[in-house]
Amino acid sequence: MIGMMLCMAGIVMSATAGQSASEAPPVAAKPVPAWQLVHHDEKDTPGGKEYLATLEIPDLSLSLALMNCSESPSHEWAVDKDTLGAEWLEPDRILWIHWCTTRMGNGNYRAEAHVILSLAVSPAKELLREAFIEWGKGGINDYEQTNATYRLERSSPVRIVICRTVTHDVSETDENAGVPLSVIPGWGVRLRHYRIVQESRSEIEPEDRLGKHVHCWQRAWLDLDATPLFKGDIPEYKTREYTLQEVAEFLVLYLCPRYGKSPGMGSCLPEEQEKMQKELLSRNRTLSPDKKMRGRIEIPLFSFRPVIAPLCPECDYYPFN
């Protein structure tokens, strides 16, 4: 969440020292009225205290259920109050609320949650509610980090476009653990460090009570030169180059759900490998079959299934159950 409250809310930073005196000063984004975090339906159970964390903004007549929480001397699953934020994507109409959960699993995992509301109708309507694993650590030096940011464009008086950018970093530095290309421990060749960036756009009619997404678009990139989360643990990351075949195999296995769910699927089929290589060469004109690959590579997408999917209700650390 670092920097998210500023970079995606449309807040314009103050003028730099070199700004001309004739230039108009930047205009700050409209602040959201004061809010408070309230516990509703609080009850004591044999396992500790349980309650519904609710965000209340009296000046907007808004009461929004965030997540069910539980607390005990040895366990806490709740809203991290220091990360809770609210900001306008469109003043007085579209509100973005975001927070992180407290850490779970010996302090190694936490989720990042997002809710976007339309206040153009009464009562307020949720346009989006989703979450990602914001931080995870497994094994000795096995890290992943995901951050999502949002902005808004208005395509017509009745339609808006929610633009989302999700960045997912993985650093695998434990020789005996980590995620190989097949997303099954112990199978296949793996990328020790990578970043995937996904951009998507959803067009919505916020005053339509059904709130249907009328159009969707996405692009994604694999960045082989991104700085590892802990670059001191991966001294070879600056010089490692990958073949077209390695990257194609990684992307087939990363994008296809069956490889993450069926044990033993440690390599992709020849026809899948061939199709992915052709698509990579078609979308990335600077690549060639005999050239090692570095840098940012556009990922071929064969469906609208998100490359970086939000957590589903069955996932561990899903905050909305």
The string of pLDDT tens digits covering residues 261-293 is 443 345 677 888 888 889 999 888 878 888 777
Residue 317 in any domain: the answer is no
Q: Does residue 259 share a domain with residue 166? A: yes
Whether 312 maps to a domain, the answer reads no
- Nearest Cα neighbor of 253 from 243, 265, 264 is 265
| pLDDT band at 224; cut points 50, 70, 90 | confident
Specify if 92 maps to a domain: yes
Is 316 within the bounds of a domain? no
Based on the fold, state whether residues 99 and 155 are members of the same structural domain.
Answer: no
pLDDT at 167: 92
Residues 300 and 275 in one domain: yes
**What is the per-residue pLDDT for 39?**
95
| Domain match, 120 and 200 both | no
Per-residue confidence band for 18, with pLDDT thresholds at 50, 70 and 90: very low
Residue 16 has pLDDT above 50, yes or no: no
- pLDDT over 50 (residue 155): yes
Residue 148 and residue 268 share a domain: yes
Could you tell me the pLDDT band of residue 37, with boundaries at 50, 70 and 90?
A: very high
pTM, entire model: 0.78
| Same structural domain, 158 and 281 | yes
Whether residues 147 and 126 share a domain: the answer is no
Confidence category of residue 203, pLDDT binned at 50, 70, 90: confident
In-domain check, residue 234: yes
Asked if residue 81 and residue 161 are part of one domain, the reply reads no
- Within a domain: 293: yes
Residues 146 and 260 both lie in one domain: yes
The overall average pLDDT reported for the chain is 76
pLDDT of amino acid 164 = 92
Summarize the confidence of residues 53-72 as an average pLDDT.
Answer: 94
State which residues form the domain around 56: 34-131
> Which structure tokens are listed for 125?
């309507």
Stretch among 4-8, 32-36, 57-61, 212-216 having the lowest mean pLDDT: 4-8
Whether pLDDT at 163 is above 50: yes
Residue 16 lies in a domain: no
Which tops the pLDDT comparison, 135 or 264?
135
**Do 104 and 154 belong to one domain?**
no
Average pLDDT for 52-74: 93
The 8 Å CB, 24+ separation contacts for 10-15 are 10/88, 10/89, 10/151, 11/87
Does residue 117 fall inside a structural domain? yes
Please, which pLDDT band fits residue 316 given cuts at 50, 70 and 90?
confident
Question: Is 121 a residue whose pLDDT tops 80?
Answer: yes
Q: For the chain, what percent of residues have pLDDT higher than 70?
A: 70
Query: How many structural domains is the chain composed of?
Result: 2
Asked whether residue 54 carries a pLDDT value surpassing 50, the answer given is yes
* 168 shares its domain with 289: yes
